[in-house]
Amino acid sequence: MTRRIVLDTETTGLEVGRDHRVIEIGCVELVDRTPSGRQFHQYLNPGRPSDPGAIAVHGISDEFLRDKPRFAEIVDEWLAFIEGAELLIHNAAFDVSFLDTELKLAGAQYGRVGDHAVIVDTLALAREKYPGQKNTLDALCRRLGVDNTHRELHGALLDARLLADVWLAMTAGQGALALGAEEPAAAAARPRPAAADLATRPVVLHADAADIEAHRARLDAIDRVCPEGSVWRRGERPDAAA
């Protein structure tokens, strides 16, 4: 079993060296390339105001954060969630520098993020796969067919969920494509034929609109990472053999 945690943060400003702090942590768990349904999400009181430019990006006001816990109050719960996992972070140096500072302020016994999990920078992966192209989260969503139309402002949990979809699409050729990976609740909701019916006649389960759209998005992602395109679509191409 491979356990990964997709992580994002929001902060009071861009420079940790100017005493800016973390105000939101969002984490989504993937187990063997499938969302497990487990997540960690917490807003934090940074003990200082956010820069106006930062508020314009994430929309989180100082007033909203006043009654939220301090990082030191949730550090044990957060570390327990990420412990031993592979952390997927876009532009990891930024988030890790802030989180390492928060851990230092919480107490020397907590060490650094790298003491608890393996850090993987998805921005570095994207730059290797798409050199010379724009590799922001929004750009990757557009390139890989991940729907981000609901992302009007940055948010740690929202961005972690989007990054999970982006990473799965971006690494689709590296191991299982997860074409059959379905949320447990969705799988359980599918009607199942009775045993007697299976014994007497074949059962055909037709794809619904959601299945077709999910399949189309996956094929779009495969087409972007495979020069020859997906085998499922070759019959659709004008230059395909008759």
User: What are the catalytic residues?
Assistant: 154
Q: Which candidate, 33, 49, 29, 53, places its Cα nearest to that of 41?
A: 29
3-state secondary structure of 218: helix
CB atoms within 10 A of CB 234: 12
C-alpha triplet 35, 113, 123: angle, nearest 5°: 60
Q: How far is CA 113 from the centre of its chain?
A: 18
Helix (H) or strand (E) holding 77: helix 71-82
Q: How far apart are CA 103 and CA 79, in angstroms?
A: 10
Q: How far is CA 73 from the centre of its chain?
A: 25
Q: How far apart are CA 222 and CA 230, in angstroms?
A: 6
Q: How far apart are CA 229 and CA 22, in angstroms?
A: 42
